[in-house]
Amino acid sequence: MELVETANACADLDSMAPLRPVIDAWKDTALIHADPELRDQLKRPLDGADYGPVTVEDA
């Protein structure tokens, strides 16, 4: 559904650029499902540590 909606939006915009992040996210998800060790690492609970505030840089 997300792919189709994004592809339709790309057609309206006459640009395929918005499709790239969708494909990248799908690829990342596929890699996680394909690698049991990586999947197990990502399913572990967080350590609960506070690493301080996150700073946002201006683009």
Q: At what angle do helices 2-13 and 19-34 cross, to 10 degrees?
A: 160
* pTM recorded for the entire structure: 0.60
pLDDT tens figures, 31-43: 999 999 999 999 9
* Residue 51 pLDDT class (50, 70, 90 cuts): confident
Asked whether residue 59 carries a pLDDT value surpassing 90, the answer given is no
Burial class (CB within 10 angstroms; exposed 0-12, middle 13-18, buried 19+) of 33 = exposed
Q: Estimate to the nearest angstrom the gap between the alpha carbon of 45 and the chain centroid.
A: 20
